[in-house]
Amino acid sequence: MSSREVAEAAPVLDIAEAPPRGASETRREPEVNKLFRMVMKYEGSDLHLKVGQPPMMRLKGDIRRMEMRPLTQEDMERLLLTQLSPKHRKILDEEGGVDFSYVIGADECRFRVSLFRQRGRLSLVARRVNNTIPNFEKLGLPASIEKLCNYPEGLIILAGVTGSGKSTTIASMIDYINEREPLHILTVEDPIEFTFTDKKSYINQREIGLDCLNWHKALKDAVRQDPDVILVGELRDIETFEAAVHAAETGHLVFGTIHAASAATTINRILDLFPPEKHGAIRQALANNLKAVVAQKLLKSIKPGVSRTPTNEIMIVTPIVRKLIAEGEDSKLIDAIRMSYQEGMVDFTENLRQLVDRGMIDKPTALEVAPNPEQLKMAFKGIKFPAPGIL
């Protein structure tokens, strides 16, 4: 059964009971908060609102419809437009969509909201952001992720599609540094997702449109604000990538995210930002400054008490990897990863095998997302694939 069929077959949720707060306190809250609180109560990951459909939420990867009547355009305007600041309303009207963070209570829960128009009507998708930042063990990340937090400088990229848990993993890495090093950590985000508490480090978090005019200004200012570690929310265009590389070149440890399916395809995804005549220079910049790429997917877990777990591909830029990137031999990067497991690297095939062995996911789930299901089947039988000569 496909994921879409699972979502459609899933039973609706009964939300007739009141949210878990005092009635008088709830009445003072915006009406839309009831829907956000239902996502919190059921520990959903996302709230979806669309004209013509009842409110929906994503639970353990599937869309579930709430037991409510379909929303009208008037409902959407009443629930949502009243919560927009004048600036966000202007962006919505002029650009057709706006992203912002929405906080329930006194920082009780935070959502990353995308409000947009489709077919002339309002729609909303809001991602729930955990209040607490889980550590590597709780997230189920490979042990070598810790090694990546100890670089004094360079660029570390988290790759994955929307909803793959990149933001959670990168927040966990930032908080690991925060707990251990007396540093200045600066984040530039649109919008801010996780909020950090100062520990050994102290952290400044800047939100585009709220704390700074735009990405160009924020990233230009960043290197003048004496940071040791910089988080660039997303490497979305030439400007943000060049700023991230410049910061890495000038002695900062820089974290960024990008939409890419694997460690190897991350290189091509970055090159796609630039015209072909610049690809040689970009490859050299990556060879010189990139420290690691962590690609991630989020899977349903079979372990009790764990709804979803990440599977990771980790590529550390060793001399061999650096040479392959510089020379455009991206097709050989997966072989470089496979011959370097002892150095902390891992590919999706090996990590999926490990997750099955640890009882985190079942074999059908692993095979469904495996880049090469036949190789994974052989890995289950203990057959390893020696990496061919790649130099």
Fold matches, 3-129 and 136-380: no
Environment class of 376 (CB within 10 Å of its CB; exposed 0-12, middle 13-18, buried 19+): buried
Region 38-53: mean pLDDT is 95
Whole-prediction pTM value?
0.81
Could you read off the pLDDT of 323-332 as tens digits, one per residue?
Answer: 999 999 999 9
Specify the pLDDT at position 310.
97
**CATH second-level architecture of 3-129?**
2-Layer Sandwich (3.30)
DSSP state of 391: -
Could you read off the pLDDT of 92-143 as tens digits, one per residue?
Answer: 999 999 999 899 987 789 899 999 999 999 999 999 987 789 999 999 999 9
Asked if residues 30 and 83 have their Cβ atoms less than 8 Å apart, the reply is yes
Higher pLDDT, 207 or 315: 315
Specify the pLDDT at position 233.
82
SS3 46: strand
Higher pLDDT, 347 or 190: 347
CA distance 183 to 328: 36
Environment class of 304 (CB within 10 Å of its CB; exposed 0-12, middle 13-18, buried 19+): exposed
Instruction: Identify which of 213, 185, 209 has the alpha carbon closest to the alpha carbon of residue 197.
Output: 185
Q: Which homologous superfamily is 136-380 in?
A: P-loop containing nucleotide triphosphate hydrolases (3.40.50.300)
Could you read off the pLDDT of 122-134 as tens digits, one per residue?
Answer: 999 999 987 789 9
Amino acid identity for residue 346 in this structure: V
CA distance 364 to 376: 11
pLDDT greater than 50 at residue 4: no
Instruction: Identify which of 76, 184, 166 has the alpha carbon closest to the alpha carbon of residue 124.
Output: 76
Q: Domain coordinates of the chain in residue numbers?
A: 3-129, 136-380
Specify the pLDDT at position 383.
86
Region 7-34: mean pLDDT is 56
Specify the pLDDT at position 157.
98
Specify the pLDDT at position 338.
93
Look over the chain and give the mean of its residue pLDDT values, rounded to a whole number. Answer: 90
Instruction: Identify which of 133, 124, 119 has the alpha carbon closest to the alpha carbon of residue 35.
Output: 124
Percent of the chain surpassing pLDDT 70: 91
Asked if residues 351 and 296 have their Cβ atoms less than 8 Å apart, the reply is no
